[in-house]
Amino acid sequence: MASADVEAPPASPAPSLPDYVLNPNAVLQDSEAAWRYGRAPDYSKTRQFYLETKKHSHAAGSLPDLVENLVKNWEIEASFKTHLQDWRTVDKSQYTFAINGGPPQSAEHMLQVGTYNAIIAPNEFYSPKNSDFSSSHKTFKRMMPTFAWEVVEVYSGPPVVSFKWRHWGVMKNDYVGFNDKGEKITAKAHGGQIDIEGVTVAEVNDKLQVVKLETWFDPLEMFRQITPNGVINKEIVMKRVEPNGTASLGQEDLSSQTEEEKAALEELLVEILDTTRDG
């Protein structure tokens, strides 16, 4: 008797991937989230700059593409979503972030001090101790209106993803910040490119949410490129960060500002509401 054909069981459908690994702007559609300036930021200028100046083109759906999208959405949430409960790219119960082998930081810490202050250690050009969340973003956004980011190479896949990245922009305006001694540092804009690289190891869960981020890079490399000839201006001013995290300027610093500088600061505040860039 001929043996009966045995039908193979139907294949299980492939699990669908979350939108934050498929689209670099996915979380910008989260209309119910609490956004830092009352609405989702506009990344269109940065995305255009990225397309025009990137060095790598990853196939859609490839591992480098998925990693790049995840990190870009994470950066948006870390910079502009003010409530951790709204972050979709991280495992909120376990997430930590560490820089250059330092102690792990919580999401709450990054929400309080800002992404720049969380990743840059005090140095001769800049210090998180003398700059709060808002002023840190103004410092770097004023200097580089667009600051793009891309994955260079992925070395391993989930659940522990290790990859090399590149972060770049153009120094269109002067750098003005406060260093570890409280001095006001000014470096004239040179109109050239700032281009830094680093390596990150990210542990993700089965939803491709970040559980643990560890990043290694040389933060001084950016400042070396900001001042390629080593020329900076130092000015002693009365500046401090209040216990509530708000940076304050002493009377000496306020009085030293020209009307043009004050107008430029006001214009910058308006611009922040309308445009931003990768962090």
- Number of Cα atoms under 13 Å in the Cβ half of residue 140: 27
Sign of the CA dihedral running 263, 181, 148, 90: negative
Model confidence over 87-125: pLDDT tens digits? 999 999 999 999 999 999 999 999 999 999 999 999 999
Model confidence over 215-242: pLDDT tens digits? 999 989 999 999 998 778 888 765 554 4
pLDDT at 276 over 60: no
CA 66/CA 137 separation, integer angstroms: 27
CA distances from residue 190 to 54, 85, 153, 233, 258 in whole angstroms, order as listed = 21, 41, 30, 15, 22
Angle at alpha carbon of residue 217, lines to 159 and 268, rounded to 5°: 105
- Identify the helix (H) or strand (E) that includes residue 164: strand 160-170
Check residues 45 and 274 and name the one with the higher pLDDT. Answer: 45
CA 30/CA 20 separation, integer angstroms: 11
Strands 210-217 and 96-99: parallel
Farthest-apart Cα atoms in the chain, separation: 101
Query: What domains can you pick out in the chain, each with its CATH number?
Result: 42-272 (3.10.450.50)
